[in-house]
Amino acid sequence: MSVMKLAIAGAAGRMGRTLTRIVHETEGCEVAGGLEPPGSPHLGADMGVLAGIGEIGATVGEDALGLVSRIDGVIDFTVPAATVALAELTAQARIVHVIGTTGFSADDEAKLRAAARHATIVKSGNMSLGVNLLAALVRKVAATLDEDFDIEIAEMHHRHKVDAPSGTALLLGEAAAEGRDIPLEAHAVRTRDGHTGPRPDGAIGFATLRGGSVVGEHSVIFAGEAERLELSHKAESRDIFARGAVKAALWARGRKPGLMSMADVLGLADF
Ligand SMILES: NC(=O)C1=CN([C@@H]2O[C@H](COP(=O)(O)OP(=O)(O)OC[C@H]3O[C@@H](n4cnc5c(N)ncnc54)[C@H](OP(=O)(O)O)[C@@H]3O)[C@@H](O)[C@H]2O)C=CC1
Ligand SMILES: O=C(O)C1=N[C@H](C(=O)O)C[C@H](O)C1
């Protein structure tokens, strides 16, 4: 098969720069161009220079429509509004769209599901192998322990992160809720402040920490009477997310349109 031409949306961002380097060094794919919003100071820049690997001859642009017509797929770690707009274009072009962006509203999620009728979308709040394995373990533990064990999810990220709880925390919350066979929306306690009253039975709680340069840390705590089980993942580099996203793009190539997850890519859906 020919080399997969991949564009990177959010090419000048923390993940975008990491993705340029990982795509460039991965066999079977190449960096075909990048996207940043109109007015970005990075428009026209060589993506390799931004990524710290020297010139690669692929540049950052703002013309998403023109770009999708000449690529096989796009890897997108941007902001929800940009991802939803780009999904309309990847649907029109019927190409692969790997979505790492987090912080979507319910309305955004519905639009992405609609786009997935024509685009081949792989979307996950965390593209790393470790977190997706952790989610599978959380589902099993939540199914095994009854409601006497309270579930709390704690996360810490760098000071620049703009959404909370993190996409990963929500993914882990979904896994816990699936294990308990309950809807997460009805049981999630996303913030606590003031006189909250006692913890509701069956709640899945979230705690958010932000500071410094932390790449991403998550713990799922099962707290029972006189014993506590904690399952944790610590990301030490953004490379793990970028490698997962590239794996997803290569996996999705040639597949039918639909909305898939990293668990599908990694074969963990029935774990
Ligand atoms: N699923 C996963 O495994 C992971 C997900 N993430 C998620 O990825 C997203 C990005 O994270 P991070 O790289 O740290 O954030 P950054 O802010 O560093 O990067 C986002 C980039 O997207 C750009 N952007 C904004 N709007 C558009 C647009 N319309 N078109 C093209 N580019 C646009 C921004 O430009 P500007 O700054 O000029 O607005 C910025 O360069 C977040 O939602 C984060 O939670 C992060 C790591 C792993
Ligand atoms: O914004 C980040 O940095 C990260 N975002 C993702 C999330 O919201 O969970 C994944 C990772 O933890 C890093």
* 118 carries an active-site annotation: no
Residues facing residue 4 across a β-bridge: 29
Residue 1 has pLDDT above 90, yes or no: no
Mean pLDDT confidence for 58-66: 98
Q: Is the ipTM of this complex over 0.90?
A: yes
Superfamily of domain 4-127+238-266: NAD(P)-binding Rossmann-like Domain (3.40.50.720)
Q: Which atom of ligand 2 is nearest to the CA of 165?
A: 8
pLDDT in tens, 198-256: 999 999 999 999 999 999 999 999 999 999 999 999 999 999 999 999 999 999 999 99
Write down the mean pLDDT value for the chain.
97
pLDDT, tens only, 79-100: 999 999 999 999 999 999 999 9
Q: Look up the CATH architecture of domain 130-235.
A: 2-Layer Sandwich (3.30)
Measured by CA distance, the residue closest to atom 41 of ligand 1 is: 13
Residue 2 annotated as lining a ligand binding site: no
The reply to whether 161 belongs to the active site is yes
Which protein residues touch ligand 2 with a CB less than 6 Å away?
102, 125-126, 157, 161, 166-168, 216
Q: 156-185 b/e with 16+ CB inside 10 Å = b?
A: bbeeebebbbbbbbbbbbbbbbbbbeeeee
Domain spans, the chain: 4-127+238-266, 130-235
